């Protein structure tokens, strides 16, 4: 009985969410049309550095995982005790955050240099 209730609630919640998103999107487009703005123009703005940004982010995440792996194996050793497993997880998430952030900062530097050359 509780499993069926959860399934029904999830289905109704998903339906309400999709309906609400479509309803609000339609209201937004109608308001734009009333003000004389073309609703199709706002979605088509090019983003030339988006793939660079995500590429550098993924490279940073990969480097973070590699550095975390070598850090855990070198510092904590191959045989982890029960209390040290939490430290290993913290090292992994910390390295992912640091190197992912470095990838995004590097992307910003590339974009800034390109924009300065264009002006």
How big is the CA angle at 84 (ends 91 and 72), to the nearest 5 degrees?
Answer: 40
65 and 109 share a domain?
yes
Q: What is the pLDDT of residue 82?
A: 59
The helix (H) or strand (E) run that includes residue 13 is helix 2-34
Q: Give the range of the structural domain holding residue 99, as residue numbers without chain letter.
A: 50-118
69 and 18 share a domain?
no
24 and 60 share a domain?
no
Residue 64: pLDDT above 60?
Answer: yes
73 and 106 share a domain?
yes
Mean pLDDT of 62-89: 73
Share of the chain above pLDDT 70, in %: 83
Region for 21 from its dihedrals, namely left if φ exceeds 0, alpha if ψ lies in -120 to 50, beta otherwise: alpha
- 103: Cβ contacts below 8 Å, ≥ 6 apart: 56, 57, 58, 59, 60, 61
Hey, how many other C-beta atoms are within 10 angstroms of the C-beta on 64? 23
64 and 26 share a domain?
no
Domain count for the chain, please give it. 2
Mean pLDDT of 51-71: 84
40 and 69 share a domain?
no
29 and 15 share a domain?
yes
pTM over 0.85: no
56 and 7 share a domain?
no
Residue 84: pLDDT above 80?
Answer: no
User: DSSP string spanning 53-72?
Assistant: HHHHHHHHHHHHHHHHHHHI
| Dihedral pair phi/psi, residue 113, rounded to 5° | -65, -40
């Amino acid at each position: 009985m509780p499993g069926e209730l959860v399934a029904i609630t999830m289905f109704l919640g998903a339906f309400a969410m999709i309906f609400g998103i479509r309803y609000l999107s339609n209201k937004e487009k109608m308001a734009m049309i009333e003000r004389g703005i073309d609703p199709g123009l706002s979605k088509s703005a090019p983003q030339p550095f988006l793939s660079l940004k995500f590429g550098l982010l993924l490279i940073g995440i990969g480097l973070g995982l590699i550095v975390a792996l070598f850090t855990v194996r070198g510092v904590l050793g191959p045989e982890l005790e029960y209390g040290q497993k939490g430290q290993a997880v913290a090292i992994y998430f910390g390295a992912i955050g640091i190197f992912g952030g470095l990838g995004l900062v590097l992307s910003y530097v590339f974009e800034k240099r390109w924009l300065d050359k264009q002006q």
